[in-house]
Structure 1
Amino acid sequence: MFVFISIVLIFVYIFSTVIKPKKYPPGPRWYPFFGCFGLINSRMKQHGSQWKVLSEMAKEFSTKVLGLKLGNQLVVVVYGEKNIRQVTTEKEFDARPDSFFLKLRTFGKRVGITFVDGPLWREHRPFTMKHLRKQGFGKPPMEQDIQAQLNNILDVLGKSNGSSISIRTPMSIALVNIIWKYVAGEHIEENKLRQFLQFSSARSKAFTLAGGYLDQWPWLRFIFPNWTGYNIIKNMNKEILDIIEDAIWRHHSTVEGNDYIYSFLKEIYDNKDTYTEDQLKGVCLDILIAASNTGSSALDFAFICLLRHPNVQNKVYEEISRVLGDDTPSWSDNGRLIYTSAFLSEVHRLCTVAPFLGGRRALTDIEMEGYLIPKGTTILVSLGDLHQDETLWDEPNTFKPERFIDENGALKTPANLYPFGLGRRRCPGEPLGRCFIFIMLVGIVQKYRLQCNGPPPSAESVIGLLAEPIQFTAQFVKRL
């Protein structure tokens, strides 16, 4: 009798795992224990990324609110301007998923500012931005730092003598060193930084924001540490923790200064409740990870678009030459370089670096498009689909910078284009990202013509946590 009851209970439990909540958004059927994992992973072989698979599923079910279950986690993907604005602006969506993967990212603890919520996030995001701005973040000193790094990049290009090279790593190093100056008042030792960047890129490609086997079944890391990607995160955490702890140790050991770490340590010394060294390490990690891939990926996409569209490259150069001459570019030039700014907007649209915004967690039961999203559901926001929505963009798959220029030749304010997100969780690094991308692109095209020996590189991207361009090299030929 006991065996019979046990078997019945097991079957009841299995059956309950495949029943969808009342009014749950449409989506594929669920299987016991795995939910939609198997179906999504099998389709990834065809479409190449989880983002593209889910985009196709949303079309298949004719919905802008796609309902999934990954392992035991309810996941909803939202599409369309109205739904994206709801998720990014209403407080019921401010929370982050409380998952194993996200805690593993921050040394196994829920710290930092990117993937925390509630009072900790509301206190530490403004504190972080306030003290970074004190050091010049988003102000003229930051622009000067970018211009100095531009000169370093131009030196690298000059030494290449027109041979084919990749400047992705030098770009990442430049961007990280700019932000780290405001955080720690120093640059990172190049060997350590290169190692960290390699792990960061591998992590971005290996994982997805919609979760993975490691997130659902953490015990798999003990059996398959490589296959689950656990070793990638473990190795990256070690590299980045060495960088952060070295900087904190030096700040403890030296006289007081003005950078972000000094400001934070002062709060620790004053015994402020949420100001701990773990939280300081978490914020430093968030800043380093955010700077390590996004800006350099956007620039690489821009270079690919120049290589694939020589006529566009000529127009960009002609405008820069006519408006700036040999003057060093500055952020204030973006309003004068109309076509160049439109070109960058089109790069952001067609080559969205973050096709999914960082995951959200529903704080209450919420209705959307007539469906019910249960409390605790993980919500993904598909920016990539919005940026290629054929109802919003004429010929969305065609590269056309002119779409951002009006009939009077003035730059249009890009509507429905959010490369840095929107709402209260909009990317805090946007001022640096926009300025860095603009000055670097203008400064390089001003001095060098981009070309390649064979066919131009593919515009396809490798999409994991973020979208990265396929690795490529190009020739940077000095303009006469």
Structure 2
Amino acid sequence: MWYVFLPAGALLVLFLWWDTIRPTGFPPGPPWLPLIGNVFLTQKLKRKYDGQHGVFEYLSRKYNTKLIGMRLGSEIVVAVRGYPLVKEALTRDEFCGRPDNFFSRMRTFGKRLMGVTFTDGEHWEEHRSFTVRTLRELGFGRNTMNELINNELAEIIQTLERTNGSIAPVQLLSFSVLNVIWALATGKRIEQENNTLKDLFEILRKRSTLFDISGGLLNQIPWIRFLAPEWTGYSLLLKLNQRLASFFTQALNDHFTNYDDLKSSDDFIYAFIREMNKRSHDPNTTFTETQLVVTLLDLFIAANITTVIINLIFMMMILRPEIQANVHREIDAFKDSIRWKDRHNFSYVEAVIFEVQRFFYVAAISGPRRAMQDCELGGYKIPQNATVLIDLKSVHMDEEYWIDPGTFRPERFLDQNGQLVNTERLIPFSLGKRKCLGDGLARACIFVYFCGIMQRYEITTPEGEEPPSVQLIPGITYLPKPYKAIFKLRGMKQSNPIS
């Protein structure tokens, strides 16, 4: 009877062999195993080469290519390196999609086409347009936003005045940056004593370090969550979703209870509810309460990345006191409080900010894209629905262009007259239609917080402690290792550094 199983065995062998075949014209890369692809190889290389960007760098050298073709679980994946191809991939409409996979659906409470960041097609275009327009109407990029940022800066200054000894800058900044966007979204700020928010920040930090931008093992082998829910991070994501939903519930309940059609749209939630009511007769409307929650989540996570960048700037002030002295020298020449509109007077400060964003690859890999159709890139064929991972670190650390990318040198962004130059290859907020929605808010927060604090304080390492490490913790967002700082009040010439 054994011969009965021969056809089934032959079909199984044929299927497994077929599952290892690369698509025609696909970019070069490592051969993959049936069913799991290159999962184990990439996991091994991530540990050896300090994260996913290190994997791409290694494979790029090994196969002598700027486009690397591989498979992670069932997903066909293309990694893109080098400025010409990166710019093309970021700006072409064919690569404006987002992957539809297990990890992305976990982020959006198990649903597809939710929020703004991890959706595409007509849904994305509609909600991106609504979000941009509404935030602009609420003051995004104008005086209202500047006022919110300066109010939060004042809160930071008050916290520093009450602090004796050292403080972790990330604790100082997390609530403040979030409160700017939260005030636009809800009309209220969150107090630092909010324990729920502290818990959320810690879960978000763990999420960032546990996964890479492609979702890690949990995304590539989803069934493994049943065997190891803690180790794979599945339990953590469930906990995060639960806490986020709970966190947003109170704000949403207050707005739905107090909503009045005649009330002006004085925050994002009221504006969204108004749009929901306008479309309530449409059974296919995408303006739903779940969509609102996920959009708030998108804004929440974007604020967290801004915190990381400011944290790194303060870290470099400690590690490079001569640069801190130059920053103080430029800032001291300006007697008034420094606002976002004043940035053109601070070329060196801006150069320091640019160099931090170049040197520290906070977003080493841009948010994953999906090929919306069969297309070509760099002479290779990219299949429809392939996941495209864009290596921003390869742009910011390109030795041929930057010459000495491993050296922290703000002067690379200044010409002989001290004017800003050389910024076209600095793309920390991405490019094209998928460019970060909140890049204007992020840049304003970074500049105003940096200048406002440096006007008043000198930043040093606490006595007896090791200086901060420039090695980042890899993950979805690359994070600095925890450190503490002393903010020492300077002899101030200006009488009112904030207003």
In the superposition, the TM-score normalised over structure 1's length comes to 0.96
In the alignment, is the contact (CA less than 8 A) between 2:366 and 2:391 conserved in 1?
Answer: yes
Residue type of the partner of 1:222?
A: F
Residue 444 (structure 2) pairs with residue 435 (structure 1): yes
In the alignment, is the contact (CA less than 8 A) between 1:25 and 1:372 conserved in 2?
Answer: yes
> Take 1:218 and 1:249, find their aligned partners in 2: how far apart are those partners?
34
276, 301, 305: which one pairs with 1:268?
276
Residue type of the partner of 1:146?
A: I
Q: What is the match of residue 305 of structure 1?
A: 316
The alpha carbon displacement at 1:441 in A equals 0.8
The alpha carbon displacement at 1:16 in A equals 1.5
126, 138, 143: which one pairs with 1:140?
143
**Over residues 333-366 of structure 1, what are the superposed CA-to-partner deviations in whole Å (9 max), with x where a residue is unaligned?**
2111111111111011001321111111112222
> Take 1:164 and 1:130, find their aligned partners in 2: how far apart are those partners?
42
Residue type of the partner of 2:448?
A: I
344, 352, 355: which one pairs with 1:335?
344
Q: What is the match of residue 408 of structure 1?
A: 417
In the alignment, is the contact (CA less than 8 A) between 1:251 and 1:262 conserved in 2?
Answer: yes
Residue 206 (structure 2) pairs with residue 198 (structure 1): no
After the TM superposition, which residues 170-189 of structure 1 pair with which residues of structure 2 at under 5 Å, given as runs? 170-188=172-190
Q: What is the match of residue 38 of structure 1?
A: 40
> Take 2:259 and 2:368, find their aligned partners in 1: how far apart are those partners?
40
Q: What is the match of residue 225 of structure 2?
A: 221
Secondary structure of 1:391's aligned partner: helix
> Take 1:255 and 1:361, find their aligned partners in 2: how far apart are those partners?
38
Residue 6 (structure 2) pairs with residue 15 (structure 1): no
Q: What is the match of residue 78 of structure 1?
A: 80
Secondary structure of 1:88's aligned partner: helix
Secondary structure of 2:402's aligned partner: coil
**Over residues 415-439 of structure 1, what are the superposed CA-to-partner deviations in whole Å (9 max), with x where a residue is unaligned?**
2111111100100011110000111
Residue type of the partner of 1:336?
A: N
**Over residues 73-104 of structure 1, what are the superposed CA-to-partner deviations in whole Å (9 max), with x where a residue is unaligned?**
11101012221122111111111000111011
In the superposition, the TM-score normalised over structure 2's length comes to 0.93
The alpha carbon displacement at 1:444 in A equals 1.2
Q: What is the match of residue 250 of structure 2?
A: 246
Unaligned runs of 5+ in 2: 492-499
The alpha carbon displacement at 1:221 in A equals 2.0
In the alignment, is the contact (CA less than 8 A) between 1:356 and 1:381 conserved in 2?
Answer: yes
**Over residues 40-81 of structure 1, what are the superposed CA-to-partner deviations in whole Å (9 max), with x where a residue is unaligned?**
111222222122222221122221101111112111010122
The 4+ residue runs of structure 1 with deviation greater than 6 A are none
In the alignment, is the contact (CA less than 8 A) between 2:91 and 2:433 conserved in 1?
Answer: yes
**Over residues 251-270 of structure 1, what are the superposed CA-to-partner deviations in whole Å (9 max), with x where a residue is unaligned?**
11114342111111122222
Q: What is the match of residue 129 of structure 1?
A: 132
> Take 1:52 and 1:442, find their aligned partners in 2: how far apart are those partners?
34
Question: Which stretch has the larger CA shift, 253-262 or 413-422?
Answer: 253-262
In the alignment, is the contact (CA less than 8 A) between 1:75 and 1:210 conserved in 2?
Answer: no
The alpha carbon displacement at 1:32 in A equals 2.5
After the TM superposition, which residues 252-401 of structure 1 pair with which residues of structure 2 at under 5 Å, given as runs? 252-256=256-260, 257=263, 258=265, 259-270=267-278, 271=280, 272=282, 273-291=285-303, 293-322=304-333, 324-325=334-335, 327-401=336-410
Q: What is the match of residue 494 of structure 2?
A: none
**Over residues 210-253 of structure 1, what are the superposed CA-to-partner deviations in whole Å (9 max), with x where a residue is unaligned?**
23221133232222111110111111111111122221111111
The alpha carbon displacement at 1:9 in A equals 1.1
> Take 2:432 and 2:79, find their aligned partners in 1: how far apart are those partners?
18
Question: Which stretch has the larger CA shift, 210-219 or 310-319?
Answer: 210-219
Identity %: 36
> Take 1:335 and 1:176, find their aligned partners in 2: how far apart are those partners?
26
> Take 2:144 and 2:258, find their aligned partners in 1: how far apart are those partners?
24
In the alignment, is the contact (CA less than 8 A) between 2:49 and 2:55 conserved in 1?
Answer: yes
Q: How many residues align?
A: 476
In the alignment, is the contact (CA less than 8 A) between 1:183 and 1:260 conserved in 2?
Answer: yes
> Take 2:338 and 2:219, find their aligned partners in 1: how far apart are those partners?
44
Q: What is the match of residue 495 of structure 2?
A: none
Residue 161 (structure 2) pairs with residue 158 (structure 1): yes
5, 8, 13: which one pairs with 1:6?
8
Unaligned runs of 5+ in 1: none
In the alignment, is the contact (CA less than 8 A) between 1:92 and 1:364 conserved in 2?
Answer: yes
**Over residues 249-294 of structure 1, what are the superposed CA-to-partner deviations in whole Å (9 max), with x where a residue is unaligned?**
1111114342111111122222151211111111111111211x21
> Take 1:239 and 1:138, find their aligned partners in 2: how far apart are those partners?
30
Residue type of the partner of 1:160?
A: T
RMSD between superposed Cα atoms in Å:
1.4
In the alignment, is the contact (CA less than 8 A) between 1:65 and 1:76 conserved in 2?
Answer: yes
Q: What is the match of residue 213 of structure 2?
A: 209
Q: What is the match of residue 240 of structure 2?
A: 236
> Take 1:390 and 1:48, find their aligned partners in 2: how far apart are those partners?
19
The alpha carbon displacement at 1:395 in A equals 0.6
Q: What is the match of residue 65 of structure 1?
A: 67
The alpha carbon displacement at 1:33 in A equals 2.3
> Take 2:12 and 2:190, find their aligned partners in 1: how far apart are those partners?
55
In the alignment, is the contact (CA less than 8 A) between 2:365 and 2:392 conserved in 1?
Answer: yes
Secondary structure of 1:408's aligned partner: coil
In the alignment, is the contact (CA less than 8 A) between 1:51 and 1:463 conserved in 2?
Answer: no
463, 475, 479: which one pairs with 2:486?
475
Question: Which stretch has the larger CA shift, 84-93 or 342-351?
Answer: 84-93
**Over residues 166-215 of structure 1, what are the superposed CA-to-partner deviations in whole Å (9 max), with x where a residue is unaligned?**
02123111111111111111223522211111111111111111232211
> Take 2:293 and 2:424, find their aligned partners in 1: how far apart are those partners?
37
> Take 1:341 and 1:397, find their aligned partners in 2: how far apart are those partners?
19
> Take 1:165 and 1:188, find their aligned partners in 2: how far apart are those partners?
20
Residue type of the partner of 1:407?
A: Q
Residue type of the partner of 2:326?
A: K
In the alignment, is the contact (CA less than 8 A) between 1:188 and 1:243 conserved in 2?
Answer: no
Residue type of the partner of 1:369?
A: G
Q: What is the match of residue 418 of structure 1?
A: 427
The alpha carbon displacement at 1:413 in A equals 5.3
> Take 2:342 and 2:20, find their aligned partners in 1: how far apart are those partners?
56
> Take 1:13 and 1:372, find their aligned partners in 2: how far apart are those partners?
23
